[in-house]
Homo-oligomer: A and B are copies of this chain.
Amino acid sequence: MPDTPIKALFFDVFGTLVDFRTGVAREAERLIAPTGKTLDWGAFADAWRGEYQAGMEEIRSGREGYVRLDIIHRRNLDRILPRFGLEHLDEDTRAELNLAWHRLDAWPEVPAALARLRTQFRIAPLSNGNIALQVDLARRNNFLWDAILGGDFSRDYKPKAQIYLDAVDAFGLKARECLMVACHSSDLAAAASHGLHTAHIARPDEHGAGRGETAPSVTVDFAAADLADLAEKLLIPR
């Protein structure tokens, strides 16, 4: 346990709190199957997510001004559709399909664990997902956030320094009073480099069965099997 009391927890969302692959595959099937097309829906989700980093890199690099993740998701969707023979998918279906990212379900233990953590810590998503997206995920999964920080607040994308520094500052805290929670070692490495504490959550099935981090590849303060396990490690019995 760190020496300084931790006062706030910041959460990665895609992968860490919600199962995006299952949700995107489900929404793709719901919206595309009625057109008569049958795909490997998981592969479709993988392809879409596969464009994620490149889309944000345009903003992180400064080549483009900030645009919210909804817009990047939509560009990426338009980019992958031809690979699946869906270049003629109509505009309304594309717009609706883009909301798949607003309709993701939490991993099973998350809502209850987050509610427990909320009793002793300030909590906020620190995600690249924009505010409207986070609000929809929160409403769907009963996440009660103190604030929504991350991409829209900082007008940039993780792992840029500003995302982490702005979050610490917004809560009026010092970095060592904050804990970044993620299932991606790269996110935790960036947070730690700015003085935040870090907790890794194992998500072995993030990208499909057996395709996710089971343990951190960097030094962390906590390594947990899931969010309920992290709550056990962090919460002070009262």
In the complex the two chains form, is B122's CB within 8 Å of A170's CB?
Answer: no
In the complex the two chains form, is B153's CB within 8 Å of A146's CB?
Answer: no
Interface residues of A in 126-164 (CB under 8 A from B): 130-132, 134-135, 138-139, 144-149, 152-153
- Answer whether residue A46 sits at the interface, using C-beta atoms and an 8 A cutoff: no
Closest chain B CB from A211 CB (angstroms): 31
* 8 Å CB contact of A132 from B138, B152, B170: B170
- Answer whether residue A171 sits at the interface, using C-beta atoms and an 8 A cutoff: yes
Cβ proximity bits A113-128 to B, threshold 8 Å, 1 near / 0 not: 0000000001000000
In the complex the two chains form, is A147's CB within 8 Å of B146's CB?
Answer: no
In the complex the two chains form, is B135's CB within 8 Å of A147's CB?
Answer: yes
Interface residues in chain A, defined as those with a beta carbon under 8 Å from any beta carbon in chain B: 70, 122, 130-132, 134-135, 138-139, 144-149, 152-153, 170-172
